[in-house]
Every structure is written in structure tokens, then in C-alpha cells.
Amino acid sequence: MLGKHWIELTYLLASILFIFGLRGLSHPKTARMGMNAAAIGMAIAIIGTLLKHEIVSYELIIAGLILGSLIGGAMSYWMPMTAMPQRTALSHAFGALAASIVGIAEYYEEVIVHHQTLPAYKMAALGFEVLFGSLTVTGSLLAFFKLQEMMRGTPITYKGQNVINMSLFIAAAVIFLYLIYDPTQANLFWVMVVLSFLFGVLLVLPIGSADMPVVMALMNSYAGLASAATGFAIGNNVLIIAGTLDGFSGFILSILMCKAMNRSITNVLFGAFGSVSQDTGQAVEGVMREVQVEDVAMQLAYARQVVFVPGYGLATAQAQHAVRELAEALEHKGVQVKYAIHPVAGRMPGHMNVLLAEANVPYSALYELEQINPEMQATDVSVVIGANDVVNPDARDNPKSPIAGMPIIEVDRSHQVIVLKRGKGRGFSGLENPLFFKPNTGMLYGDAKASLTKLAQAVQQA
């Protein structure tokens, strides 16, 4: 009995560390401490679980631990920070797959092998973890494929898609509820598993890469809730606590991401934002004014304040170190440099913060949207690096725009704007950006990393 109390004590300590870890992630300065606390908590939780007497085979556990550590270590070492959204999507898929397998194995063992009748509460927990775990697996994998550009990132839609999706989910939910009433219907259980996997694919299929921050947060929430249900099913308190923390924090984060885009979750899930067939609003007249590296370097070198606005293009060009080198060259000349961070810039929450942190950009130089916008009129030059919708003034000025009402970084209010783009095409959403046609905007075409490197060299010589 004493042993059981010690195990529960380890679970309590692990849960406290998870809470402190989550609290630490609320600010960049304490994020590293939060991650370390959560990692220690997980290690304690694993040790506490291994001390239980229900362990079937320590050999298999050790083999799994070694294999998982090798895979995780290799991914962490070789995967670049620019691919962090894909890495996160895979983590969600692996975590949800573990929860699904536990639920399926538990049902198979008790109902199919031993022909036992599960209590209603246990069948509810098993069904919930399999239902949400399965759809999270395929949904996260599809998000990975889109982010990795193994398939097109724009929404894939067809007629009646939302009706089919909802019908699939309702069918899976009805089967889930019936299984609570009669858990012995194994055939229905397998049908629910298949429908859940299929629904995860169809759920993410019509969602474009521009909405991936919300999708990632939702997948995180689903994986957490599936883990919590696993805890109820197998009687593991630390899984219940950790899964609930993960599930609800992910849901809250998805709400915040939607608020940052001035959109609802239903619009994200069923609106197919980024579809090439959607109305792109009013046509923009004028021409884009192309500028050269030498001219931009002179503007930057003699400015008082420069604001960099990173977007997904920064990640694809892997230009985070180049922008830091340019910033250091400007600071050496006495120019004040700031970085404007939009909440949904990139493909996952905090994507730009992670990239800039890798380049050792100080946290004090990062400014959120609400902090930087009041300073835009006093900014001499704003440099937009691979961002589109988050600086599109149509969101503010055109009520008919598909992104109307979305908070933006108001770079158009600065004295001069330099936009780094590969070409003259539109951004991911398919919306034309009036910013690019304004008289105070100059377009610097080419690879962002190469352009920033040339600018840093030119500024040093100016």
C-alpha cells in the first residue's frame, strides 16, 4: 500500500511540474524554464508508471524507449527550425496514435478476447479516446503533408463537402453513443474507428496552409483530450491531468488564433479560406514599384527606426540569420531596430518567435501587434519579409474583403515600406494586397535570404 501512495505522489509532483511548465510557456523569457519543468515532470511520470505492478514486459518498454529516443533525437538534430510546424504536426499525430492504439487494444482485450461487458463509463472513455485520437492522427498527418509541400497547400474542396464531413462525424458519434449502451458490438466499433480516421482526412483537406496555426492548436487540443480519456480508461491520474491541461490549453489557443484573424472556428474549419474560387474583393489599380538593393540600403542606413515584419516567406527562405545580420549592421550605425510579430504569421502559433530566437534575436526587440502599430507613423522604413495578409490594408479599409476586420500590422502608415518577395504573384490566400501598389512601397524581388545578405553588406559600406 505504501508503494501505491508513493506512485500517486510521483503523479502529483509530475502534474505540478506540468502546470508550472505551461505557465512558463506564457512568456519567451521563461519558456525554456517551462519546457525543462515539463520534461522533468514527464520523466517523473514515466518512472512512477514503471513502478506499477501491472507492467507486462520491461524489455518491450526499454526497446520502445530506445527506439523512440533515437527517432526523437534524430528529428530534433537534423530537422531545421524552419520545419518546426511539420515537426509539431508529427508530434500531434504520434501522441494521438498512441492514445488510439491504447483504446483499441483495451477494447480488443476485454471485449473480443475475454468477452467481458465494459461498464458504461469505461466504454465512454475508450470510445472518446479512439474517436478523437483517430481523427487527430490522420488530420495531423495531412497537415504535415501540406506544410511539407508533399501535396498542395491550398484548400481542396468539392460540392457537398461540408455535408459529407458532418454526416461522417454524426455517424461516428451515433455509433459511439450506441456502444456505450451495448459495448459488445465489435463490428460497430471497427466501423467507428474507420470513420474517425476518414473524418480526420476530410476535416483538414479543405483547410489551407494559411489557417494552419488554428489547425495545429486544434489538433493539439484533440490529442490532449484523447490522452485524458486514455487516463480515465486505464485508471492513470497523471494522464487525466496532463491530457486535460493539453486539451483545454490547445482549445484556448485556437480561440486566440481565430480572434487574431477575426474569424470563427467554424469559418476556419468549413470556410475553405484560400480557395482560388473565392471572391478576392476589389481590383487594385496601379503598378508595383521595383527598387534595387543599393537604394534600399541607403534608406535603411540613414533611418532612425526600422521595423522588420517577418512572415512565412522568412521561414521558407531560411532567412532568420540574414535578417539578424542586417539588423546588427543597422544597429552599428545607430538605427533603432524592432521586429513586429503578428499572432498568426507563419504556420503555427509562435512560429516567427521560434525562428528569430534561433537567430539570437533578443526578446526585447520583439513587439506584438498592439505594441508596434502606435509606432508605425514614427517609423522611417518598414521591411516586410514574406508576409501578405497580416499587412494587407484591405482588412482595415475594405469591408467587402474576405479578411475584413482582421487586425493587421499597419506598415502602410510608416514613411517607407520595402517588401521582399520572390515575384509579383499574390500571397497564399489569393488576395491582392493594395500595400504593394502604394507610392511609399518599394518591391525588392528575389530570394529573401540573398536579398537580406546583400542589404547587410551594402549597409556596412554605406
CA 90-96-102 angle, 5° bins:
135
User: By CB neighbour count within 10 A (0-12 exposed, 13-18 middle, 19+ buried), where does 286 fall?
Assistant: exposed
Radius of gyration of the chain (CA): 25
d(CA 344, CA 256): 10
CB 137 within 8 A of CB 97: yes
Q: Which of 389, 394, 397, 412 is catalytic?
A: 389
Side by side, the strands of the sheet bearing 305-310 are: 366-368, 336-341, 305-310, 381-385, 416-421, 441-445
30, amino acid identity: T
Determine the Cα–Cα distance for residues 18 and 42; give it in Å rounded to an integer: 8
What are the grid coordinates assigned to 320, written together?
A: 532568420
Asked about 389 being catalytic, the answer comes back as yes
Q: Which of 147, 35, 154, 28 is nearest to 84 (CA)?
A: 147
Tell me phi and psi for residue 357, to 5 degrees.
Answer: -65, -35
Let me know: does 373 contact 408? Beta carbons within 8 Å: no
Dihedral over alpha carbons 151, 153, 154, 158 (to 10 degrees) = 40
247 three-state secondary structure: helix
Q: Please list the active-site residues.
A: 389
